[in-house]
Amino acid sequence: MSRATVSSVNVRRPLLYVIVGAVLALAGSLVPASRPAAGGAAEPPAQAVPGVGAPSPAPCTEVEDSLRPGPLPPPGAMPVGSTMAAIAERGRLRAAVDQGKYRVGFRNPATGELEGFDIDVARAIAQAIFGDPDRIQFVVVDIADRASVVASGQADVTVNTFTVTCARQQVVSFSAPYLTATQRLLVPRGSGIREIEDLAGRTVCTSAGSVTVDVLGRTEGVRVVALPGIPDCVVELQAGRVQAVSSDDVVLAGLAAQDPQTEVVGRALDSARYAVAVPKGADDMVRFVNGVLERARADGSLEASRRAWLGEVLDPLPTIPPPAYRD
């Protein structure tokens, strides 16, 4: 058994497919973490994300590039006074992740361990700090809580299919992106739905707090329902209360792989670049994480993880984008 531990922040959604048995069996062992109080740092809709305890910033559209990587100190030798040294002193990295995204962040029912592409990224950060990828506490969060859990200090990083947006950069800082995905549709096979326009007069479901809410709202006549997580949307799809689910192809492909009665269809409605979120202003941690990602690109471990987890469920594979830095 791994030394990694798991806690949860507002784990309220039903989990589906191959993970459901393991999650129910382990639910009683999860150590709950407190959720920010109402009016705190919860992640609002993407178009207006306020800072923690501060008025909403003016709307923005331009995403800033991340900070250039700094030198990577040896594991166990983090610079005195740094964000990484504080994590090392605690003895574990707290990483906010998902446990319901097959192949990305999910619980293996055979082992009870969290696995997937995002989990590999989180473990690489722990490895760089401690020399041990298992010195990690996974904090399981809903999509809407991905920024707040870092901003409120309940997690050191969020590695959870988290798209960089200008509004989110007002609340947390981001690494350079490590994966590019596209937004598409999951529908029942034989439904006749091929594109977003086919949903006119029908209902599509997506996760609250995601950028897909805005994208879907641009198509006239389409009703949009936002629920805590994509698994909640799949329950609604199975019950016939919605006619499609929209999210990133990385997430939808995992769901379709587990349910052959569904399929991923349609053109790309939007693109998303996943990055690691850290507390706002923790520039040393941003540079450190970017150094970890640079090394993973260079030694092939990021590519190996991408192919191992996503190669069987996505064609073409989502790309690993080249990093861009502002200084």
Greater confidence (4 vs 27) lies with 4
Q: Report whether pLDDT(28) > 50.
A: no
Q: Write out pLDDT tens, residues 37-70.
A: 333 333 433 333 333 444 555 677 789 999 999 8
- Residues 136 and 154: their CA atoms lie apart, in Å, by 13
The predicted model gives 184-202 an average pLDDT of 97
The whole-chain average pLDDT of the chain stands at: 85
Q: Which helix (H) or strand (E) element contains residue 143?
A: none
pLDDT tens digits along 138-166: 999 988 899 999 999 999 999 999 999 99
Is residue 104 within 8 A of residue 117, CB to CB? The reply is: yes
Separation CA 203–CA 240 (nearest Å): 10
- The values of phi and psi at residue 277, to 5°, are -95, 140
Q: Which residue has the tokens 């923790």?
A: 282
- Spell out the alpha helix ranges (H) of 131-246: 146-151, 212-216, 230-238
pLDDT value of residue 322: 95
If you ran DSSP here, which 8-state letter would residue 42 be given?
A: -
pLDDT score of 56: 52
The pLDDT tens digits for 90-113 are 999 999 999 989 999 999 999 999
Cβ–Cβ < 8 Å for 10, 144: no
Sequence-ordered list of residues with C-beta below 8 angstroms from that of 151, at least 6 positions apart, any chain: 41, 51, 52, 171, 172, 279, 280
Q: Is 312 or 55 the better-scoring residue by pLDDT? A: 312
Whether pLDDT at 21 is above 50:
no
pLDDT at 142: 86
How far is residue 93's CA from residue 14's CA, in Å, rounded to a whole number?
27
- Per cent of the chain over pLDDT 70 is 83
Mean pLDDT for 258-276 is 94
Pick from 78, 30, 36: nearest CA to 171: 36
In this structure, is the dihedral angle defined by the CA atoms of residues 181, 197, 100 and 317, taken in order, positive or negative? negative
Give the ranges where 174-264 is alpha helix by DSSP (H).
Answer: 212-216, 230-238, 249-258
Q: What is the dihedral of CA 70, 284, 46, 160, to 10 degrees?
A: 80
CB 264 within 8 A of CB 184: yes
Q: What share of the chain in percent tops pLDDT 90? A: 72
Would you mind telling me the total number of residues written for the chain in this entry? 327
0.85 surpassed by pTM? no
Q: What share of the chain is helix, strand, coil (3-state, %, to 5)?
A: 30, 25, 45
Q: What is the mean pLDDT of residues 80-87?
A: 98
Q: Is 113 helix (H, G, I), strand (E, B) or coil?
A: coil
Cα maximum dimension of the chain:
60
**Predicted confidence band at 316 (pLDDT cuts at 50, 70, 90)?**
confident
Most confident by average pLDDT, 200-209, 290-299, 315-324: 290-299
The neighbouring-strand residues paired with 181 are 272
Average of pLDDT values for 280-308?
98
Pairing of strands 100-101, 105-107: antiparallel
Q: What is the pLDDT of residue 18?
A: 36
Q: In the predicted model, what is the mean pLDDT of residues 118-127?
A: 98
Cα(189)–Cα(275) distance, rounded to whole angstroms? 32
pLDDT band with cut points at 50, 70 and 90 for residue 24? very low
Residue 8 has pLDDT above 80, yes or no: no
Q: Helices 283-299 and 301-310, interaxial angle, to 10°?
A: 80
Q: CA-CA distance, 283 to 82, in Å (whole number)?
A: 10
